[in-house]
Amino acid sequence: MRIFLDPIKISYHNLRSSKFRSFLTMLGIIIGVASVIVVMSIGSSAQKLILGQVKGIGSNLIGVLPGASEENGPPVTAMGATITSLKYSDLKALLFKKNAPDIQDATAYVTGTALVKSKSESNQINYQGVTASLSKVENIEIDQGRFLVKQENTNLARVAVLGSTVAKDLFPNENPVGKNIQIKDLSFKIVGILKKRGSSGFSSSDDNLYLPLLTAQKLLLNIDYLNFIRVKVGSEDSINQTIDDIKKTLREEHNIRNPINDDFSVRSAAQALSVLSNVTNVLKYFLTSIAAISLLVGGVGIMNIMLVSVKQRIWEIGLRKALGATDQNIILQFLIESIFVTFTGGLIGIVLGATVAFLSAYIIRHLGYDWEFSLSWQSISLASGIAIFIGLIFGLYPAKKAGKISPMEALRYE
């Protein structure tokens, strides 16, 4: 035990005798470990937020997206591609009871962004073109006025329903219901305001503006395709059968005989959660690996400082060898010093990273998101393990160099 305790004591005294140099040596490790902790904590919190919000939408929902995909992979549209294979006629076919008897209701979506003006305010706002059944599919509640009705979609009515945040931004001091707004030089009458709901998935209904589907398609976006269809099923037990019915119906609508040629993707809420979990895990660990690169920079700094330390302590090394210390004793001494420096820097980095992650969670939570502070033992163990490994690897060369010094030459050095 003493063979380890004595080098640790010497390492501690060396650190104390040159505090500023020791701090500079540890700085790269501190920043690297803190970065790993922060990225993993924020990544884990973001993953929990996204998955929790998707669960909150409902477990009896099925999503239909344009573009094919592998069974466990994200659809092409999730990567930013525009696919035009999904049409309004597909929605009507799915709502035909003979095709999919277990579908309770369904709605379609198109999305856009535009400068929206009220009498006194103007903002760049995301809008969605939807059918009237959105309120039933997503269980949307109205605070004032009403939601869209079926006839307003078929006759291209210029009406709008505002999310709670949009309503406050455009009409800060008055009731918006009955007032008009301008979108791309077209006037729209506000018929309703949604209750505050919070974020859902990657967006927030509070920040959205809702228009009749065909109105948004034809008057604002000039498109004839859909971005998304969401289907509500009566029972979770019938989800798998309904997915099969949806696929069969869309293949008939698109004249597809071989499933390999599917130009759509169908996902249940459970499948969507699995895909989202895989995607967010990949992003989280990718960002963690990027953050961990800074630890390598810190390792190079430690090696440089240890080489300088070897040169400055040549006489000390010679004296210890003259008194009986072996090459292995000297190598162990400098290895333990290197590991001690990185481990100490790692501890400081963990505290710093946890503090930054906590403050980030506090700020994000006060911005209105249901953000949970997440700090796992996995991230702490990973950061500590990498720090010790870096100290071992980058301390090995200086330690071996110190062990090879001849005691006679070392004593003559001074």
Give the tens place of pLDDT for each residue, 58-110. Answer: 567 888 988 877 665 556 555 556 788 899 999 999 998 888 888 889 999 99
> Is there a domain that residue 73 lies in?
no
Q: Which of 194, 227, 262 is the last residue of a domain?
A: 262
> Is there a domain that residue 59 lies in?
no
Q: What is the model's pLDDT at position 190?
A: 95
> Is there a domain that residue 342 lies in?
yes
> Is there a domain that residue 69 lies in?
no
> Is there a domain that residue 66 lies in?
no
Domain total of the chain: 2
Which band of pLDDT confidence, cut at 50, 70 and 90, is reported for residue 225? very high
CA distances from 193 to 119, 121, 146, 164, 165 (A): 17, 17, 7, 6, 10
| Pair (109, 249) in one structural domain | yes
Range name among 61-65, 236-240, 288-292, 376-380 with the lowest pLDDT average: 288-292
| Pair (334, 403) in one structural domain | yes
**Do 335 and 398 contact (CB within 8 A), yes or no?**
no
| Pair (370, 231) in one structural domain | no
> Is there a domain that residue 346 lies in?
yes
Q: Which of 208, 233, 262 is the last residue of a domain?
A: 262
Residue with more model confidence, 101 or 278: 101
> Is there a domain that residue 58 lies in?
no
| Pair (248, 282) in one structural domain | no
> Which DSSP state fits 221?
I
| Pair (28, 170) in one structural domain | no
User: Coil, strand, or helix at residue 5?
Assistant: helix
Beta strands in 167-207 (DSSP E): 180-183, 186-194, 199-200, 203-204
| Pair (121, 24) in one structural domain | no
| Pair (214, 117) in one structural domain | yes
Residue with more model confidence, 340 or 320: 340
Which band of pLDDT confidence, cut at 50, 70 and 90, is reported for residue 35? confident
| Pair (91, 47) in one structural domain | no
| Pair (258, 368) in one structural domain | no
CA distances from 209 to 7, 25, 51, 144, 166 (A): 67, 54, 24, 14, 7
| Pair (157, 94) in one structural domain | yes
| Pair (239, 280) in one structural domain | no
Beta bridge partners of 65: 265
> Is there a domain that residue 268 lies in?
no
Q: What is the model's pLDDT at position 182?
A: 94
Domain extent for 206: 84-262
Alpha-helical regions (H) of 313-376:
314-322, 327-366
Q: Which of 232, 262, 292 is the last residue of a domain?
A: 262
Residue with more model confidence, 370 or 79: 370
Which band of pLDDT confidence, cut at 50, 70 and 90, is reported for residue 202? very low
| Pair (255, 338) in one structural domain | no
**Residues 294-318 pLDDT 10s:** 667 777 777 766 666 666 666 666 6
**Do 229 and 64 contact (CB within 8 A), yes or no?**
yes
- Within 10 angstroms of residue 285's Cβ, the number of other Cβ atoms is 13
